[in-house]
Chains A and B, each alone.
Chain A
């Protein structure tokens, strides 16, 4: 016990240093007028919409298949996944190629905005919204003035 308390000031200091130095980069994108973001480390590529082939019988969230340099990629419509109203693909639409570890999946978004470097202090837990939150809500990012809904890709892409 005494050991722990003695060390606590050090740890706080270290954390403050980390807050200043080590930040995580998030890629922000728009969906139905809101700004969402995922860690940019998980995004392998950002592509303009390519021809997408509809897959009969696929789950509703699946837009279809496309190929990127010979690789088959399943494209998911994030609007459908988040139960947001649908809009047709337009020139600002982008497909983020996300690496889930198991496969690369394309995420269809309305537009790509910018990269934010978020310190831990700038991230609020999703709990602030109260109640039972969806597992894919990783938190709320609050870079100066803006508000980002941070997504956790793994639960988002499950099922």
Chain B
């Protein structure tokens, strides 16, 4: 390889590397934190909170504190410290989980994001925000644990047990007693050699039914090889249910009696009561009722699957089912973290390039093999070569797929951020909105995911600001007061579809047309000719907004055109459908990966180009007789609609090379019909060469001023074929429309 760039010094490099690791680990923790908080937010709205979740959040912040301290990120460490205190109080029940606390926690997550950006040198230090948050955290008033002070005494729990409970365990015990569940004492004997796994098994089996408050070794029955445990458990289940659930384990279960209710029995190390799982169970039921579609809710709440496909669940955890799914999955995700490798996307790009080169070598090898095989004297050698080549082929394909797979990340990465945005915007707007996510596990190329968050954010803002009606309006028309935005993702062939669907007021075609005319985006005459589809697509015009006053959220007339442009840049398409009073649905169609794309090879004036298949609708033979000339522009009528066409040879100013083209004069030219977003254009080419999967490479900086090419690819014979940037070309060719619009806009402004 001709790499000549030298790295920086070894020492610098390793420090830099450690720092990068720190930043990406911190980012991962913050992402996880955000996930957990959303879950917690859901629960807190029902007045519940899963203690395990609070513990996870606490732990994440604790780790962040340690990390940031280690790397001298002073502000982050300070924030983490205060946050840790607050979470500790929350964990121990000294602080109540309310909207105010949740707001602070969410703000902390935002702040972590800003701090990380600042650490990476991509943003200013959010000094003010840090101070504001620290102040807010300091002002949280602590409530003392009240209530069941005496309730503890009501149970026959040995004082020696009560004495050794940690503050946390005691808090859990009180909380459980307060919620009125039963306490059980479980005695179990474990072999010392298997205690770790056996205890895990027991916990997993008990979890759906309640909470294990504590377990203490007891003297009774312990010998050299075994150990006896006394477990205090809180459960809403009957003792029989528990016995059934824990069957197969050699243990005894007995309810802890209340004093006065029966005879006072011998003091036994008491299991303590766990009602928290009950809480989660109830929450799930409530959730199911509120979130349409159970799978949706599961997807929204379940942690992301690890990208490492091989991350098997620990063998001791039985398949989680029902109410406990969320909890069990969380354990799973905690474990899979250690099986994940963080890789710089650039390294994958490099690997991708190497594979691309191998593919070239494969093609050359194929040609060579064919030549050898065609020589009678070399047949045996040819056959052997052929066999070798096939093996090479197969493995190369596997490698290609493998690398592509590694580049894939679940869309959930963006969706989580959106959930946070939706929560914030709907609160600011005083609207209640449920975001229902399905398909968060749908995978797409990492590079695409990064480019998606802005467009999707715009769409969420639009849906809440323009789509979802106010509470009163919704009530009046008999819709549920809480609005719903469905965010669905799924794979369809070589594409990933993302739908954003709201159950708001929808868009009225009349209002859209009216607005477009008022803003001078179309003339009344043009407006009369618009098809229903065209009308919805008006919102993609720059400067389009139906709001007369811009808010913080939207109405500034930037947004949907940016969405369209960004999606088009990724080779994607945006579609809108809407029904007045019912809602609006926007669908984004994206290619799964950017690195390898399918293209249609075309020949123009003896030169070959590639058109990304993602942009190609179809190719037809050009019938010159059907070409009409409008105002210096050519168009065809195709299935009742007008299709503007553009002759690539003319667009690129290519004159037919001598010889190369004349022989094919007799063959008829073709029209490759390309579409990006709502615009279609037919490219006239001399002939089609065929379909191919290619590795696309960016053009160098020296060609950055050249518009119309997305990159280039290497053919097998060391030749380069340019890949058309269909979006840019369509934009350019159809620009006159826009210019007209621009002029009109200018005239209106003046």
Contacts and interface: CB of A to CB of B under 8 A. Distances in A.
A102 B4 CA distance: 12
A56 B654 contact: yes
Contact of A65 (B2, B354, B701, B722): B722
Contacts of B1: 69
A69 B2 contact: yes
A56 B699 CA distance: 13
A59 B701 contact: no
A104 B721 CA distance: 19
Nearest to A68: B2
B478 to A, nearest CB: 58
Contacts of A44: 2, 4
Nearest to A59: B705
A105 B706 contact: no
B360 interface: yes
Contacts, number: 83
Interface string B708-750: 1100101001111110000000000000000000000000000
Contact of A103 (B702, B709, B717, B720): B702
B51 interface: no
B356 interface: yes
A62 interface: yes
Contacts of A50: 718
Contacts of B2: 44-45, 68-69, 71, 97, 104
A21 interface: no
A125 interface: no
Contacts of B701: 102-103
A55 to B, nearest CB: 6
A57 B703 CA distance: 10
Contacts of A9: none
A66 interface: yes
B722 A57 contact: no
A73 B652 CA distance: 21
Interface in B182-212: none
A65 B702 contact: no
A72 B712 contact: yes
B720 A72 contact: yes
Given A70-B356, A70-B357, A51 B719 contact: yes
B718 A57 contact: no
Contact of A55 (B354, B698, B722): B722
A57 B704 CA distance: 11
B191 to A, nearest CB: 59
A157 B4 CA distance: 19
Nearest to B651: A56
Nearest to B2: A44
Contacts of A104: 2, 700
A6 B689 CA distance: 77
Contacts of B717: 51
A67 B718 contact: yes
Given A56-B652, A67-B718, A70-B714, A62 B703 contact: yes
Interface of B: 1-2, 4, 353-354, 356-357, 360, 607, 652-654, 697-703, 705-709, 712, 714, 717-722
Given A67-B714, A68-B2, 15 more contacts: A50-B718, A53-B607, A53-B712, A53-B721, A55-B709, A56-B653, A56-B708, A57-B652, A70-B714, A71-B353, A72-B700, A97-B2, A103-B701, A105-B700, A157-B702
10 contacts: A53-B607, A53-B712, A53-B720, A55-B703, A55-B709, A58-B703, A71-B2, A71-B353, A103-B702, A105-B702
Q: Which 3 A/B pairs are nearest by Cβ-Cβ distance?
A: A56-B652, A70-B357, A53-B720
